[in-house]
């Protein structure tokens, strides 16, 4: 009798983004990466067999035990190790027994049990008594005599923050960076090249991007390959490898010219399975995601034998904006891209947060991107290669950006037109007519920005979508130099 063990890590995003300190986020990301790989293997010790490991990525573990005793040992010990090493993380487990040759039924049964286990509440390990000192950052109980040194001050830390901070300082525990930058988690990355403070990442302005990408149609593929144990394991390994190599390719494209003395302006958060989440300098985000999505289709075709598509969401925020909410927005944007593309094409959507309102993307569309009932300023998604009719690719977007270079008057006029759309539709039309007459040599560019595409929205309602706001958003993020302006103001 064989025992199929499954574990699913929960609360990953809450654990990683509990604070807005980049060092804590980096340490938390590394701890999550270690849970499914290093921690599980070390728990089993000499009983661990690599050939029995089916999945070990993206917060999921599937492992085949040859005897009941070893399986019971894992069930009893793995949650304790995880929840003490990464306080705030919870883990769900399930086990099914099966005879060899009945792997598909075992996997289906395991997934059902895991789904049930996820809905069972777990006792938190971070709750303290009344009257104990609590962390000023997280509100969790401070652990005795453990401190984080920040700017020369010794700050009392809760257990989770202390462990994150400790992990971020260990050079041998940077496998996520090696995997993301070089496609190999064993590849060392010098500490001097990594960003541990958000100030190390920002450049000419304070815009950063939280990116989340996710593959399309994974469930259908798993249903096909899940009947055979070897094929299932091969697919899981190939998908994880494809994701890592895609991140490596994207890194090479955007950071190939990073100088020796500069830090890498990327911090991987999650990289495994078909999931990718990074924090990156704002002006690099579009190029990074475009390269990643292209490479993902290429590597899945070569390694798995079936080219997959993926969608991504990019939340552009100021460096002081809460990362937790930025990630939520990036995830919503990714879901919106999937819905718009019907999960068939690789594409991306983005949004620049310009206020302090914390709302869903659907509310943002209604409040910011719908200036009048007949116009929508949300033009995305932007596709990579293949795309439906009357849509734009990322190359189309960057082409418009190139045409705007050095044409300040055009940019100003388009911004005024967008303002008039919110205030008075008739005034916007008058402004646009005069604007085109005055800039006849750039009439084609202006029309490309302001002539929209009819798009169906809720309940068969059709609106005119225009790309002007999206193009100006990216232009501002890639070209705005607030740091220079601030320095000039001080003179």
Alpha carbon separation from 424 to 162, 279, 364, 418, 419 (Å, rounded): 54, 38, 20, 10, 9
pLDDT at res. 150 = 63
Name, of 120-124, 183-187, 212-216, 252-256, the range with top average pLDDT. Answer: 212-216
What is the rounded distance in angstroms from the CA atom of residue 138 to the CA atom of residue 161?
A: 8
Asked if 135 and 21 count as a contact pair (C-beta separation under 8 A), the reply is: no
pLDDT at res. 165 = 77
- Checking if the pLDDT of 487 tops 50, the result is no
What is the rounded distance in angstroms from the CA atom of residue 312 to the CA atom of residue 414?
A: 27
- Express each pLDDT in 49-80 by its tens digit: 999 999 988 789 999 999 999 999 999 999 99
- Express each pLDDT in 318-359 by its tens digit: 988 999 999 999 999 999 999 999 999 999 999 999 887 778
pLDDT at res. 102 = 82
- Express each pLDDT in 403-424 by its tens digit: 999 999 999 999 999 999 988 7
Nearest to 29, CA basis, from 10, 5, 6, 12: 12
For the whole model, what pTM was predicted?
0.91
Percentage, residues of the chain above pLDDT 70: 93
pLDDT at res. 187 = 87
CB neighbours of 151 closer than 8 A, spacing ≥ 6? none
What is the rounded distance in angstroms from the CA atom of residue 249 to the CA atom of residue 198?
A: 24
pLDDT at res. 51 = 92
Mean pLDDT of the chain: 88
Q: How many helical (H) and strand (E) elements, i.e. helices and strands, does the chain have?
A: 19, 16
Domains along the chain with CATH numbers: 2-119 (3.30.70.270), 174-369 (3.30.70.270), 371-490 (no CATH)
Residue 249 region by backbone torsions, left for phi larger than 0, else alpha for psi between -120 and 50, else beta: alpha
Nearest to 455, CA basis, from 335, 370, 398, 385: 370
- Express each pLDDT in 419-458 by its tens digit: 999 887 789 999 999 999 999 999 999 999 998 888 877 6
- Give the mean model confidence (pLDDT) for residues 228-246: 92
- Checking if the pLDDT of 372 tops 60, the result is yes
**What strands lie across the sheet with 462-465, from one edge to the other?**
375-376, 462-465, 453-456
More confident residue, 56 or 279: 279
Give per-residue burial for 452-481: e unless 16+ CB within 10 Å, then b.
Answer: beebeeeeeeebebbbbbbbbbbbbbbebe
Q: For strand 382-383 and strand 392-393, is the pairing parallel, antiparallel, or unpaired?
A: parallel
Asked if 197 and 187 count as a contact pair (C-beta separation under 8 A), the reply is: no
More confident residue, 456 or 30: 30
- Checking if the pLDDT of 32 tops 50, the result is yes
- Give how far the C-alpha of residue 379 lies from the chain's centroid of Cα atoms, to the nearest Å: 21
- Checking if the pLDDT of 490 tops 60, the result is no
Beta bridge partners of 289: none
pLDDT band at residue 483 under the 50/70/90 scheme: low
pLDDT at res. 491 = 40
């Amino acid at each position: 009798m064989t025992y199929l063990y499954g574990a699913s890590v929960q609360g990953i995003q809450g654990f990683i983004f509990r604070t807005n300190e980049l060092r804590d986020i980096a340490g938390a990301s590394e701890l999550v990466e270690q849970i499914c790989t290093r921690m599980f293997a070390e728990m089993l010790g000499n009983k661990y067999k690599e050939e029995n490991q089916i999945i070990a990525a993206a917060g999921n573990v599937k492992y085949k035990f040859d005897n009941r005793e070893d399986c019971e040992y894992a069930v009893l010990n793995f949650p304790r190790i995880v929840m003490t090493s990464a306080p705030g993380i919870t883990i769900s487990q399930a086990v099914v027994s099966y005879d060899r040759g009945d792997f598909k039924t075992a996997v289906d049964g395991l997934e059902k049990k895991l789904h049930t286990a996820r809905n069972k509440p777990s006792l938190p390990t971070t709750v303290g008594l009344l009257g104990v000192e609590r962390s000023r950052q997280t509100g969790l109980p401070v652990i005795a005599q453990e401190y984080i040194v920040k700017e020369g001050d010794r700050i009392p830390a809760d257990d989770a923050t202390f462990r994150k901070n400790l992990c971020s300082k260990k050079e041998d525990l940077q496998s996520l960076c090696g995997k993301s930058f070089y496609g190999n988690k064993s590849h060392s990355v010098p500490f001097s090249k990594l960003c541990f403070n958000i100030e190390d990442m920002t450049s000419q302005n304070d815009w950063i991007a939280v990116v989340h990408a996710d593959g399309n149609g994974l469930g259908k593929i798993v249903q096909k390959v899940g009947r055979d144990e070897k094929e299932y394991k091969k697919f899981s390994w190939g998908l994880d490898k494809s994701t890592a190599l895609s991140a490596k390719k994207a890194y090479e494209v955007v950071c190939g010219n990073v100088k020796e003395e500069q830090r890498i302006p990327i911090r991987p958060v999650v990289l495994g399975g078909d999931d990718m989440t990074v924090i990156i300098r704002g002006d690099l985000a579009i190029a990074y995601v475009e390269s990643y999505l292209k490479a993902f289709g290429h590597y899945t075709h070569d390694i798995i034998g079936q080219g997959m598509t993926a969608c991504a969401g990019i939340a552009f925020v100021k460096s002081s904006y809460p990362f937790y909410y930025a990630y939520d927005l990036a995830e919503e944007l990714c879901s919106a891209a999937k819905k718009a593309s019907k999960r068939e094409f690789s594409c991306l959507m983005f949004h620049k947060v310009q206020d302090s309102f914390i709302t869903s993307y659907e509310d943002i569309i209604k409040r910011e991107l719908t200036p009048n009932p007949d116009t929508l300023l949300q033009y995305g998604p932007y596709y990579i290669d293949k795309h439906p009719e009357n849509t734009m690719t990322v190359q189309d977007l960057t082409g418009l950006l190139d045409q705007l270079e050095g044409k300040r008057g055009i940019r100003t006029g388009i911004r005024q037109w967008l303002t008039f759309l919110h205030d008075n539709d008739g005034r916007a039309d008058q402004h646009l007519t005069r604007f085109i007459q005055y800039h006849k040599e750039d009439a084609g560019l202006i029309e490309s920005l302001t002539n929209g595409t009819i798009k169906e929205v809720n309940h068969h309602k059709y609106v005119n979508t225009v790309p002007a706001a999206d193009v100006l958003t990216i232009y501002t993020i890639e070209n705005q130099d607030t740091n220079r302006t601030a320095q000039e103001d001080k003179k």
